Structure 1
């Protein structure tokens, strides 16, 4: 993990250019794209649609409008604290969504994966351990995608991959293609507005939605393993019914990614 600028400066002394601080700190280990960023050779992560498209021209962030369709997608599950409630909300509104599951979580909560499929939703690949693929060697990228895919294949076929955080690389794009997966990103993210009241966040996301929109939400908050995380997704659970109602009020129909991309 990178040290703070203050810690780095303390480690290497004054008068060192800011960019060189991260290289000089003895506790800071930089490899691959992180080294490129620290030395000014390039960006650390693909954080924009343009950056993702440069790495993976076949990836999709927004579908071509082929009717009044848009997609709700959920990442990081399954999670027994939130996934069931989100499935309840989707079922009450007769909406089908796409769930980008983490292989580690799918192995831990098979009943939730079975329920996702049984209720007509779509499974997709969000890697085995939710690590940042763009900083990994090809062998690790292949393992992260294929191991998760093997678990998902036990329930249903999956055609899509979402690299965690949207951080991708040429190696990720090539491995996705080799695995016959299409990389899917998003046109808007509910998480961008989590600092707002739920109703305001819902109105903002729905107001931004257009035919072909792909909205990123999260049903998973907890993850063990090499990249552990703990997030509260109660705001997302509370938002789902209102978000569905709001996009429908604009004449849009939420569908799975496969239905959206068929037009």
Structure 2
């Protein structure tokens, strides 16, 4: 019994206080569930396009040290990205969010407080989305339309709540989990991205929540390699627009 309680406690710790997980680790069921949610037209992992485009996404910012370095690297390659910001942090560092918007990046919703448990209550999640949305709109002048759940965990209640609030739910390509939060080394982060890049990939990084030196270093290499391979980096919303234009009308 004690062993079972200890194991349960460790699992709860990882979910509530640990680092973000890939879908299989976060408790989200497999591709069967994914297929079901994709058919709603509001939940996305990959976004198929017929051009060599990918979406770089950054979670948990803004951060006063690392987000600026990431913006500098993106600017060097005229790359655009989507920043899933925590509303509380956006309010704390408004100039960084304003810079993101000013330089053509997309600012999206990643809840206000980044408390995992809030996702288990539709009422709490609704308030979190609305509070974060208010901050983003005040700083950027537009209302965010994309939401990424904490740690990538989703279920019917989370999706239904987000959609009712006017959001599309954005996860990430299963083969593009950089795991930069685990600090595997810049070269490993680069390998995780470059080894299997495909048009329409949604790639996840983190610009806050710890020392992101490896992420910054890896990003500079990734951008150089991608552009040499003919890829361009755009926002998630741009991928969605291009994907919808690319699909036959019967499938939109």
TM-score range, shorter chain: 0.7 to 0.9
Give CA-to-partner distance per residue, 1:26-45, whole Å, 9 cap, x none. Answer: x99x9xx99xxxxxxxx973
2:248 match: none
**Number of residue pairs aligned between Structure 1 and Structure 2:** 225
Gaps of 5+ in 2: 17-24, 243-252
RCO higher in structure (CA 8 A, sep ≥6): 2
Relative to structure 1, is the Cα distance of residues 195 and 85 closer, same or farther in structure 2, using a 3 angstrom cutoff? closer
Hey, which of these two has a bigger chunk of helix by percent? 2
Instruction: Please say if residues 69 and 211 of structure 1, whose CA atoms lie closer than 8 Å, have aligned partners that are also in contact.
Output: yes
Correspondence for 1:167 among 135, 150, 153? 153
1:71 match: 55
Could you say which structure has the larger radius of gyration? 1
1:149 match: 133
Instruction: Please say if residues 106 and 113 of structure 1, whose CA atoms lie closer than 8 Å, have aligned partners that are also in contact.
Output: yes
Pairwise CA distance, 1:242: 0.7
Pairwise CA distance, 1:200: 3.6
2:201 match: 213
Relative to structure 1, is the Cα distance of residues 169 and 80 closer, same or farther in structure 2, using a 3 angstrom cutoff? same
Pairwise CA distance, 1:195: 5.1
The 5-angstrom pairing of residues 12-91 of structure 1 reads 18=4, 21=5, 45-46=27-28, 48=30, 50-52=32-34, 54=36, 57=40, 58-91=42-75
2:163 match: 177
C-alpha distance in 2 between matches for 1:48 and 1:253:
30
TM-score (norm 2): 0.79
Instruction: Please say if residues 183 and 214 of structure 2, whose CA atoms lie closer than 8 Å, have aligned partners that are also in contact.
Output: no
Pairwise CA distance, 1:52: 4.9
C-alpha distance in 2 between matches for 1:49 and 1:233:
31
Gaps of 5+ in 1: 1-7, 11-17, 35-42, 222-230
Give CA-to-partner distance per residue, 1:230-254, whole Å, 9 cap, x none. Answer: x211110111111111222332211
C-alpha distance in 2 between matches for 1:49 and 1:178:
24
Look up the SS of the partner of 2:195 in the other structure.
helix
Pairwise CA distance, 1:22: 6.6
